Structure 1
Amino acid sequence: MTPTELRAKQAPFKNKYKDDPGSGLVTMRAVATLQVETVSCRLKFEVAPENAGLHPLSGGDGTYACSAEMLLQALVGCAGVTFGAVATSMEVPVRGGTITAEGDVDFRGTLGVDRSVPIGFQAIRMTFD
């Protein structure tokens, strides 16, 4: 892809986010389900993380994994495995559970639409159920 092609692909999103600033704000989510018997967890992937590319809100077509979503998946995966290992080591009975990470991204920052908006995650929250 050339710089001209990238700019053309992202232009409609930049215009939309200038006209409607709230439309660029998205909350991404990743969930891990504990697999207690194997000290592991199961992650759900919308797109297999073989290749990372542009998120659909920044000009991607949805065929590539978004690295921001992959970061949340890695976070819940790490937390789930660590939780399982510590519980097993300490002999704390655990029947199962889920770990969720949510992260807020404002694509106005990512695309340089508003320089006062941070690039990347503005906040990440985790819950353990």
Structure 2
Amino acid sequence: MDAASLRALQAPLKSRYKDSPDAGRVTLKAKGELDDQAIACKVETGRALAVAGLHPATGGSGLELCSGDMLLEALVACAGVTLKAVATALEIPLRSGRVLAEGDLDFRGTLGVDKEARVGFEEIRLTFEIDTDAPQEKIDTLLKLTERYCVVLQTLANKPSLDVNITKAA
């Protein structure tokens, strides 16, 4: 896809969202079923069933997906798509590229071993490796706009309000 095709594809959406701001608001949903045999949750991905379980550092077998890995994978996916869209819009030719995410966890917090240890990622590093002849100024703009428009990155950077509840099944 080239810049003109991307603009043509997005122009009616942008116009609609400007005219009707509520049209731009979408509720994404995910759901899963608790596994009745293992400490796992079966998550519907839209394409397949992903079975998430305990990380080996918390007693898991390693056979199921780790939700922490899935979070990093979502970040990589979103950042990669965003970078590619921004590069297309800015007409920055990319011969190839890789997106890498790493995150540091202290499982003492998750397991309740140390009440002072954080539960969750302490640090996440996101790296883009791109093969391009674009000047550094364009590459800097590419990174800045990718950071600005990546939904998952911005969600991690700017904590959304959360509403957590539990109900009994009927």
- TM-score class, shorter: 0.5 to 0.7
Runs of 5+ consecutive residues of structure 2 not aligned to the other structure: 1-38, 40-47, 130-170
Residues 37-72 of structure 1 show CA distances to partners (whole Å, capped at 9, x for unaligned) of xxxxxxxxxxx9711110011011011100001000
Partner of 1:96: 96
Q: Relative to 1, partners in 2 of residues 1:49 and 1:58: Cα closer, same or farther, differing over 3 Å? A: farther
- Aligned-pair distance for 1:86? 1.1
Which structure would you say has the larger RCO, counting Cα contacts within 8 Å and 6 or more residues apart? 1
Q: Give the number of aligned pairs.
A: 83
Counterpart mapping for 1:50-129 below 5 A: 50-129=50-129
Distance 1:70 1:97 in 2: 21
**RMSD of aligned residue pairs (Cα, Å):** 1.6
Runs of 5+ consecutive residues of structure 1 not aligned to the other structure: 1-5, 7-47
| Identical-residue share of aligned pairs (%) | 59
Give the structure with the larger strand fraction. Answer: 1
Whichever of the two has the greater Rg, that structure is: 2
Distance 2:62 2:103 in 1: 19
Q: Relative to 1, partners in 2 of residues 1:128 and 1:120: Cα closer, same or farther, differing over 3 Å? A: same
TM-score (norm 2): 0.47
The code of the aligned residue for 1:120 comes to G
Task: Could you list the structure 1 runs, at least 4 aligned residues long, displaced by more than 4 angstroms after superposition.
Answer: none
Partner SS state of residue 50, structure 2: coil
The code of the aligned residue for 1:57 comes to A
Partner SS state of residue 51, structure 1: strand
